[in-house]
Amino acid sequence: MKNFDLIIIGAGPGGYVAAIRGAQLGMKTALVEKQKLGGCCLNWGCIPSRRLMESAKLFDRIRHSASFGIEGIDAQALRFNWKKAGSEKDRIVVKLVKGVEFLMKKNGVEVIHGTASLDGPSNARVGDDVLIGKNVIIATGSRPDRSFASSLPKGIVAEIDEFYARTELPDKIVIRGGNVVACEIANMLLLIGTSVSLVTAGNRLMPQLDEACSSFVREKFKKLGIQVHFEKEITGVRNGGVLVGDEFVPCDLVLNCSDRTAILPELKDLRLDSHNGFIKTDEFMQTSVPHVYAIGDVTGTMFAHVASAQGSTATNHMAGIRDPLDCNKLPLNIYLDPEIAAVGLTEEQIKARSIEYVKGEFPMSVNSKALVEGQTEGFVKVLADKKYGEILGVHIVSTRATELIAEAVRSLTLEETLDDLTKAVHAHPTISETLMEAGFKALGKPLHI
């Protein structure tokens, strides 16, 4: 039997950050992980997919480099080496996993490998070992729902981790899902020449996005030739493909990118309130049971940086630091080509709340840096309260949107107004100028449009 101030189950970006923060606050901390440190994000999610997307974007830019004055490239001779790209992805993952291992040692966190169950609010069991903790954090993550595959032949459906481990790609892939992960992988595969279709039970792609961003992706996919089957399901398998409803769609593999379901540890004598299958928490990440917290995907939030922020919020609260997490000011990053990022309220949410607002939208097509780089797709959309000008939401479709959004997050965090945004001098030529220009547009004083 071992005693700890804090026991964390799951070593993803929520769990390991919570462990570091707990140790910094003087807690004797145990981190339990049944697979690899870094969790899904580092090993099979965010990091692998980002690296492969960068490889795909570079491949596509080389194919279209003639407009930059580059000659001598035979586009027909270019080949994308999936195996080599995967090896480079693995090299980066191994380096980052070792980095997390180092951080655990540096901060004095005891890492315990194995599957944990909770016998009560303070008792965890890992194999034959019993851990007693003053506080417990559940950070066990999520997985794509597989229920649709129960009637399909074994082997036709691949999970994401299995897919990334492949050394060769099939020619035709059907992706089941219309969420962020499904769209990111579809875009990446299309860039390297794979035939891709999406099947989703919903009526729009990535429904959490502002309608302008979601519509942009839908039209972009249509232009690229990615067929999206809305409000449909994969109903069977035929030679050389699958049935989507009654329609035959050729494919060699179905990739499961369905909406995710919570992975819960075994809870023997513990009853936690839930919502839609995910653990319910308050603004400090407390569950319905005292001293038991939950963070990350298991709470229904599917972004690594949100899990990390939740981990810090939970451990701070244990130490008496009451710093609630404002979910309205958390960035949403999507790694398509071009990228998408957002923070705050969507235009639809503002309308639903009957808030009087102003809107400024500035296209990338007239930004000088975007023109120089040949990356002119997209826009910046700024939404603000009409009376005071407080910024309520920012939505970006652009190259490096996932970097630009940090400025917007700061604006919402500091409750900045359109005047604050437009008074800040943005260097020229930069993509970041589009934020300032959108602010001027919202004020009714556009400069370059």
**Residues annotated as catalytic (active site), given as ranges:** 428
Distances (CA, A) of 131 to 116, 312, 392: 10, 22, 45
Gap between the Cα atoms of 312 and 317, Å rounded:
8
Inter-residue contact 160 to 315 (CB < 8 Å): no
Per the structure block, which two tokens stand in for 208? 């959490």
Distances (CA, A) of 338 to 54, 211, 367, 378: 12, 16, 15, 7
152-190 burial code (b ≥16 CB/10 A, e <16):
beeebbbbbeebbeeeebeebbbbbbbbbbbbbbbbbbb
Cis check for the bond before 13: say yes or no (omega within 30 of 0): no
Nearest partner of 272 among 249, 296, 251, 299, judged by Cα: 299
Per the structure block, which two tokens stand in for 357? 């607002």
Do the strands 110-113 and 29-33 form a parallel or antiparallel pair, or are they unpaired? parallel
The CA-CA-CA angle for residues 360, 364, 368, to 5°, reads: 115
Gap between the Cα atoms of 408 and 411, Å rounded:
5
Gap between the Cα atoms of 325 and 237, Å rounded:
46
> Strand ranges (DSSP E) for 114-156?
116-118, 123-126, 129-138, 142-144
Give residues with Cβ within 8 angstroms of 91, minimum separation 6. none
Residue with tokens 């309520």: 392
Gap between the Cα atoms of 237 and 252, Å rounded:
11
Inter-residue contact 314 to 331 (CB < 8 Å): no
Q: SS3 for 45?
A: coil
Give residues with Cβ within 8 angstroms of 79, minimum separation 6. none
Residue with tokens 């962020």: 180
How many CA within 13 A on the CB side of residue 64? Answer: 10
When computed from its CA atoms, the radius of gyration of the chain, rounded to whole angstroms, is 23
Inter-residue contact 213 to 342 (CB < 8 Å): yes
